[in-house]
Structure formats: structure tokens, C-alpha cells
Amino acid sequence: MSPSAVLLLVMSLAFDAAGQLAFKRAASDDGIADSSWWLVWRRFAADPWVWMGIGCFVLEFFLWLGVLSVLPLSRGVLLGSASTLVMLAGGRIFFRERVGILQLLGALLIAAGVAVVGLG
């Protein structure tokens, strides 16, 4: 894989992770479950974390187009599944989410598959 493909893939994964984590942060505020749907959506529209997440996904979209322009679709999509690993780590680090043994085993299987595709 060329250095430009690796760079595009890593940047795509980073912006995907940043967007997901920003949305999680916006959605994890206390008290939103007790509000009416209209108040919840108004609060989301004013939340900078929501806008940061949207911005990250817009950038990730263009980076992903770049990935697909330099890699075959089948390889790019399989390598893109590394985002699952990034999200598992991000949830644990930033939100102290519990990682069970089955999640860890699944992550190891995904990592092995990504490694095989990346090396192949």
C-alpha cells in the first residue's frame, strides 16, 4: 500500500472517530431523556459538539473518497473496518465504557482480519 493511501486511511479513521466521539459527547448530557423531543433537538442544534461531529464527518467523507480513489473498494472497505477498533478504544478512554471479554475477542478478530487484508 502506498504512503498516500496509508495517510488517507489513517486520516479518514481519525476524523470518523472524532465525529463519533463528538456525537457521543453531545448525546451523553444528563437530562435530555426527560425532555420533550422538540427541546432535545433544539439543544442538539445549539450544541457545539454536534457541529464538531458534523464537520468531522464532512471531512471524513472527502478523505474516504480519497481512500477509494487509491485503493480497490474491497480492500478499502475491509481496512476501514478498523474504525470499530478505534471506537472501542475511544469509548473506553473518553467515556470509561466497559469492554467485556467478548468485545475484546471480537476486536482481536477484527484486528487480525484488518492485518491480513493490509498485508495482502
Phi, psi of 66 (to 5 degrees): -65, -40
23-69 pLDDT, tens digit each: 999 988 766 666 677 787 888 889 999 999 999 999 999 999 999 99
What pLDDT shows up at residue 30?
Answer: 65
Task: Say how far apart CA 26 and CA 91 lie, in whole Å.
Answer: 14
What pLDDT shows up at residue 74?
Answer: 83
Q: pTM of the entire structure?
A: 0.84
Distant-in-sequence, close-in-space partners of 20: CB < 8 Å, separation ≥ 6: 53, 87, 90
Predicted confidence band at 114 (pLDDT cuts at 50, 70, 90)?
confident
Cell output for 117: 487484508
